[in-house]
Amino acid sequence: MRDVAVIGVGLTKFGELWDVSFRELMMEAGARAIENSGIDGKQIGAMYVGNMSSGQFIRQEHISSIVADHAGLVPIPSTRVEGACASGGLALRQAIIDVGSGLHDIVVAAGIEKMTDVLAGVATGALATAADQEWEVFVGATFPGLYALMARRHMYEFGTTEEQMAAVAVKNHRNACFNTCAQYQMEITVDDVMKSPPVTLPLKLLDCSPITDGAACAILASAEKARKLTDTPVLVAGTGQASDAISLHSRTSLTSLQATIEAARKAYKMAGVKPDDIDLAEVHDCFTIAEIMAIEDLEFCKKGEGGKVTEQGETAIGGRIPVNTSGGLKGKGHPVGATGIAQVVEIVQQLRGEAGKRQVDGAEIGLAHNVGGSGGTAVVHVLRRGD
């Protein structure tokens, strides 16, 4: 494979965007990415769009054609990529493979979800299609319920506390205050989390990521072409993807996501780095326990110590390994198909030194970690400053 770089990124506001359509969201993110990259749309050779469930959220399938059409990019090949909440990260991976193979020189990786145009029950049902319908959903399991099982087991095995999980939410909301695109730009306290309404105990309302509208876009190019187009290319140093059983009862552990462990191993190996080399990370914190397990599975700390290092401030901006400087899924929002691309937008901005008040000093290597469902799919990307 030839080297691949990110040359432009674009992000919409995340939130309950009642007055913006699916198509408008995608066009806004794409236009911002093209402007950011300084290219002409005619230079784009292909497009990969991450989207989980537009058929249920907006009653529209075949969005690859819609996006290409409204972006004025017909007749380039446009492909929808679906992997539940990992759809965006997988779309980016397909774009990396495309450019790396030499098939196209410039490729768009995008992600979008419009989730708030339906009632909450419909949205919950759509999200539940990423779990095992026969063995989990049929008997009443929901995603909060599945992650609550993981949380209970983690608490039992390692002594993780509800206050430590709450510390994840507090940190990520604080970071979101400095992100103008974030859904929740407000600080909360551990006490706020502890007193918030129960969803599926031990998870409470403020332990859970929200339902969100939003779109994100990244433009990739061969490293050779990137150096001619921008002074601030961000190289894709490594990428890894892995799968696991979709249902929890078939997993070897309830306190780790094996797909994350394997995807990270592949990404680290390809990038030629170790976990200690990572300067910051965007991880999949769909629930607070998910971030705790992620930083353990990514080997930023020992197994069972994720809650402890969070509580001690090691994952805060200015800490040993800043995690979710964007606000994460918890504070920034979680438009499921767009999340994996939005994570990379944050890493790119950090590596360029463009993250403002949430900037990590001296950031040179960043990691993005995107999970589908309760862990049936995981994708990890390692990005490096191109200069």
Cα–Cα distance for residue pair 259/275, rounded to 1 Å: 17
Helix, strand, or coil here: 234?
Answer: strand
In sequence order, what are the beta bridge partners of 8?
Answer: 219
Asked if the bond preceding 233 is cis, omega within 30° of 0, the reply is: no
- Set 85, 181, 208, 286: catalytic member: 85
- Set 154, 284, 334, 381: catalytic member: 334
CA atoms in the 13 A half-sphere facing the CB of 101: 10
* Phi-psi group of 158: left, alpha or beta (phi > 0 → left; psi -120 to 50 → alpha; rest → beta): alpha
- Would you state the structure tokens that stand for residue 242, as one six-digit string? 């892995």
Active site residue 85: yes
- Would you state the structure tokens that stand for residue 94, as one six-digit string? 């397909």
10 Å CB burial of residue 249 (0-12, 13-18, 19+) is: exposed
CA separation, residue 37 to residues 73, 112, 219, 356 (Å): 16, 20, 7, 19
Cα–Cα distance for residue pair 13/332, rounded to 1 Å: 9
Active site residue 104: no
* Residue owning tokens 């049902």: 125
Q: Pairing state of beta strands 365-372 and 280-282?
A: parallel
Cα–Cα distance for residue pair 361/359, rounded to 1 Å: 6
Cβ-proximal residues to 253 (8 Å cutoff; 6+ apart), any chain: none
Cβ-proximal residues to 108 (8 Å cutoff; 6+ apart), any chain: 30, 33, 44, 46, 47, 48, 73, 95, 217, 218, 219, 220
**Alpha helices, DSSP H, located in the chain:** 22-37, 54-57, 63-70, 87-101, 120-128, 143-158, 162-176, 190-195, 223-229, 258-271, 288-297, 306-311, 328-331, 339-352
Q: Nearest 5°: phi and psi at 25?
A: -60, -45
Question: Which residues form the catalytic set?
Answer: 85, 334
